[in-house]
A = this chain, B = another copy of it.
């Protein structure tokens, strides 16, 4: 039994729950889009919760933000223009801007309040927000992609909440078609794709939709993420062109620091667990 000094996220479908011990509640608000909560935890630093789901903690966000950005950026041969759909806490933007090849990175999150709260409670994630290459837009990412010009972006990072509520449309075949249309010929999408232990069916459906939209070269990556259901998370890269092996030497020689990611971890994240391989082969995705 946990008393009121804990924040708990239940995962009803999985019959599991993860809790963090709280020192104090720092902020709550209902934005036009979501219910936002900020806590100071005992051991994980600050915690942001959106609609009851843990989103980001000071202590362990590095896994997610590094793995949503560096693998795809080191797989793409020359990433110059990057869009981040969602990602309002700015942690992915910070990682993207560590790559010197990137000339322009646009973060498109529908909810400005997420970013304003991140600036206060996760300032380290926002430290590159004033980089001249960075642009922050607070509009609907689905509409942004739909209205974009062809050939206008190299990498689209879909750093969204779960596929319910505002993020639902980000997991649809129509969205991936719109991505396909505005990507350059070597263009790639990478999207957070939940837990392979808890959401295998969702990953299969998502890969199917990506593939039907023409983003048919797929690679799902696996990494730990303590805060998220099952503690084990994934991201799926979907590419127009066949996925080349990554720019390993440039990764090994990178001039920026990371906490989890390195070139060995890059290759490790590509390994497909046996049950995952079998499930995806069965569905041919």
A residues lining the B interface (CB < 8 Å): 1-4, 6, 8, 10, 13-21, 41-44, 60, 197, 222, 224-226, 230-232, 257-262, 264-265, 267-275, 277
Contacts and interface: CB of A to CB of B under 8 A. Distances in A.
A8 B18 contact: no
A272 B15 CA distance: 32
A243 to B, nearest CB: 15
Contact of A42 (B15, B21, B275): B15
Nearest to A18: B18
Contacts of A230: 224, 226, 231
A66 to B, nearest CB: 9
Contact of A60 (B197, B262, B268): B197
Contact of A16 (B44, B268, B273): B44
Contacts of A274: 257-262, 265
B17 A18 contact: yes
A197 to B, nearest CB: 6
Contacts of A258: 274
17 contacts: A1-B4, A2-B10, A13-B43, A14-B43, A15-B20, A16-B18, A16-B21, A17-B18, A17-B20, A19-B19, A224-B230, A226-B232, A231-B231, A260-B273, A261-B274, A262-B277, A264-B272
A235 to B, nearest CB: 15
A3 B231 CA distance: 22
Most chain B CB within a 10 A radius of its CB, from A224, A225, A270: A224
Contacts of A232: 224, 226, 231-232
A145 B28 CA distance: 56
A261 B258 CA distance: 27
A13 B271 CA distance: 32
A16 B226 contact: yes
Given A16-B21, A16-B226, A231-B232, 13 more contacts: A1-B4, A6-B17, A8-B17, A197-B226, A224-B224, A224-B232, A226-B230, A259-B274, A260-B273, A262-B271, A262-B272, A265-B272, A268-B269
Contacts of A277: 262
A222 B224 CA distance: 10
